[in-house]
Structure 1
């Protein structure tokens, strides 16, 4: 049992692993460490006690890549399909927004026309009520004038409605 003081690089070379793997091994095994004169860490290790077998490299083999390549191609095709659908959906959205804007304008116009028609109806109802309340024709012919105004208002309202 000979204990040697090795740097991580030297330990890695002896065990056929990288210096980072040697450092990790020293930490896991809680091997005693000290500093050398040049500031490098030295690990006290008995190589006879360490039965370290390095793991094989994790490089991917050609057989393992094929399923991933197929999956990548399937995902690319899905992305293209979804982008095309997004373009179609955006066009539908724009059409519906324009349609909603047109309907809003039409609704506002119809509301304004309805309010104007209600005002004319109220005025005509007031004139009809005044004619009914007036009764017979007086000396000045006010009933005749009111009736003329009523007829003119009806004709005017009819003309507006026909436009």
Structure 2
């Protein structure tokens, strides 16, 4: 049984609590008190009997503020998550539009290449036909009659025109 006479400040230092909490503890436990020569209160404490575990300090106002801030942060986080989800949906829509337009551009490029190839083929046919027409014109006689060779060329020309027309219709 080790009894010590301590001031409230000494008791608070030993128990790791505030000075007011030490004073309140002495009152609650009805520990014997007396006055020292300098006028300070002394408390008789038997530490073998005193089993005291201080409660964690809770600043109630700070708790309310912290809880409110936590709610605000949770709300902000949810709002940001919703905004991210909305932007991802918009980006997905834009991505689909981009893919569709890219496929359309690829198809148009292929059609353009085909049209260019057909144009080159048609120009070749035109050049050949112009050569045939020029040969027929130079092969005419003064009387206006067309010789046998010119008639064959005219027949080839007509066949070439029909072939070109059939190819263009496909």
Structure 1 position 138, deviation (Å): 7.3
2:115 counterpart SS class: helix
Aligned to 1:154: 161
Aligned to 1:144: 151
Choose the corresponding residue for 2:79, options 74, 77, 81.
74
Q: How many residues align?
A: 108
| Structure 2 gap ranges (5+) | 1-15, 17-61
TM-score (norm. length: structure 2): 0.56
Choose the corresponding residue for 2:135, options 127, 130, 136.
130
Choose the corresponding residue for 1:84, options 89, 93, 96.
89
| Structure 1 gap ranges (5+) | 1-15, 17-57
1:80 counterpart SS class: helix
1:61 counterpart SS class: helix
Residues 63, 138 of structure 1: CA spacing in aligned structure 2 closer, same or farther, 3 A cutoff? closer
Distance 1:138 1:148 in 2: 12
Structure 1 position 75, deviation (Å): 0.6
Find the structure with the greater CA-based Rg: 2
TM-score (norm. length: structure 1): 0.58
1:135 counterpart SS class: coil
- Root-mean-square deviation (Å): 2.6
Displacement over 6 Å in runs of 4+: none
Distance 2:82 2:166 in 1: 63
